[in-house]
Structure formats: C-alpha cells, structure tokens
Amino acid sequence: MPDSIKLQDKGPTLQGSMAQVAELFKAHKSFSIELWPARTEIAQRKLDQSLVEFASLNPSFVSITYGAAGSTREKTHELVVRIKNETSMVPMAHLTCASQTKKELIDILQRYKQAGIDNILAIHGDPPLNSDSNLEEGELRHAIELVELARSIGGFNIAVAAHPEGHPSSNDIKMDRFYLTQKLKRADFGITQFFFDKKLYLDLLEDLDNLGVKKPVLPGIMPITRLSAIYKMAQLSGTEVPHSLRSRLEKVQDKPDEIRRIGIEVATQLAQDLLDESVPGLHFYTMNDAWVTKEIFSNLGLAR
C-alpha cells in the first residue's frame, strides 16, 4: 500500500450533513468519478497508483461500485474506508439490495456509519459483466426500499440511479419516469447511467420537471476504451450506442490507441455540450483509468 495521499482542499465536497448536498449543487458544479475495487493483484497495483492521479483532480466525490453478486462486497467497504482515511477525496459507497437480506443491508449501513461514511448510492444491482445469469432477488425488491432503509437508519446523503433511456427491465418509459420520481423524492440527488446523446438527458430532466421533481441529477459519462466492455455495459444498462459511433469504432477495432482516442474525443464533446446546458455537474465512469480521465479533465479545463 502506498503512502497516504494528502491533497489540500481546493473545492467543495459532499462531506457533512444532507443539507450540504443541496448547497453543493446550488453554489458549485460537481465533478465526480466512479471507481471499482480491484479483483487481482495486478489490478490492485494499478489502482494504488491511480488513486494518486485521481486525487490530483480533486473530485467532488468518488463513488465505489459494489459486487451485487458478492464478488467485491468486502473490497468495496475496504476501498471506501481507505479513501476516506488516506486521501483527501470523499467516498460514496454503492449499495445494492439484490441477493441480500434486510439484516445484511442494515449491518452494512451501520458499519459505514461507524466508519464515518455518510454518502450512499442506493441501487438494485446488475449481474457481473462476465455473467449471463440474473441476480437472485433480495429481501428488498426495489432500490426505493433501500433508500427508505438508509433513511430509517439516518445520517446518510443518498443518491439513486437514473436511466435516460429507461431502465432495461422496463417496457414503459412513462412508468419508469414515475418510479424514478418516487426514488428522487426520498433521495438527495440522482446520477444517470451513461449515454451518448445530450438530448436523452435533457428529455429526462424535462420529464422529471413535468412530474414536479427538481432534485439535481448528474449526467453520467463513460469514455470508451474497449469495444467489448462498452457493448456489454450498454446492454446491461439499456444504453444505445449510436450507429455512427459504432461505425467509427469498428473501423479501428484492431487499434486500441485509436479506440481510446475516439473515446476521449466523444466523451469530451458530450461533457462540454452538457456543461453548455448548465448541468449541475458531471459524473465520470472511469473504469479505474486515471490517464483517460485526466485527459478529459484537461480538455475541459477542469484539471487543477
């Protein structure tokens, strides 16, 4: 494990009470990132080095994914606590209700509370990328129940997931929007799944506004670095990869550097287009790739 990472405070974070979440979005744009726990020793060494690079970006918060099928559950807790204790970054722990009992979820939430972790992303959970099987249902069937459970324990800032193109398990976009409003009414803010057309995000906000919900919703951006990974994640999340983008990528499918170049270009342009629309901030799905994330931050003038 490398030496503790310390970085002077250069901007707002989500630390503290729930009231501060609203203040963050009122006064500042939020620029946050997602990481995932390492599954191998090689991946752990890469993550150790990447944490230094990510800390230099001074993100508003860092969300850490959670193995809904059990693959990284304990590693998520370890990484969340490590980031809180050893870096200047503010962690947000993903927590899923799939495949778990209510007691297990209460125990996890209480452990986070005891460790001083007060930011949670409450989601249902998806199968692992390398699995074609569905997750077993947990005692809580929907993310909204997990939000309510965290609220009952108290002391958490709670985010929920939003799907601009509709949840992949839903065949009715209107009902999907309705269920999202119910989650957002109980949570503090939302974070979208990744998408490639800003109109999808703007349409989502318009629908929520028409339903009387004005909670902040951060747009999620995933830079493309590997074709197989992006197609699989798009399938799981219900995201459409536009034909024109697929065509560009498949022309260079045997050139990894060119795929990354296009991925960075597309992510940068989407991010800038969203910033031009006065979004509350941006959330980047980094896949633990600090170099790609830093390149995009630099392109946007966000690197500090």
Q: What is the spatial distance between Cα 252 and Cα 249, in angstroms, rounded to a whole number? A: 5
Question: Number of helices and strands (H, E) in the chain?
Answer: 11, 8
Task: Say how many C-beta atoms besides its own lie within 10 A of residue 29's C-beta.
Answer: 17
Secondary element (H or E) of residue 137: none
Active-site residue identified among 23, 34, 265, 295: 34
Residues contacting 55, CB < 8 A, separation 6+: 5, 7, 87, 88, 89
Q: Is 31 helix (H, G, I), strand (E, B) or coil?
A: strand
Q: What is the spatial distance between Cα 220 and Cα 158, in angstroms, rounded to a whole number? A: 17
Helices (H), the chain: 18-27, 41-56, 73-86, 102-114, 143-153, 173-186, 198-210, 227-237, 243-251, 256-275, 290-300
In degrees and rounded to multiples of 5, residue 23 shows phi and psi of: -65, -35
Residue entry with tokens 């799981």: 236
Taking Cα atoms as reference points, which of 245, 188, 241, 186 lies closest to residue 217? Answer: 188
Sign of CA dihedral 249, 251, 254, 256: negative
User: Does the active-site annotation cover 23?
Assistant: no
The single-letter code of the amino acid at 62 is V
In degrees and rounded to multiples of 5, residue 45 shows phi and psi of: -65, -40
> By the 8 A CB rule, do 145 and 187 touch?
no
Q: What is the spatial distance between Cα 172 and Cα 45, in angstroms, rounded to a whole number? A: 44
Active site residues: 34
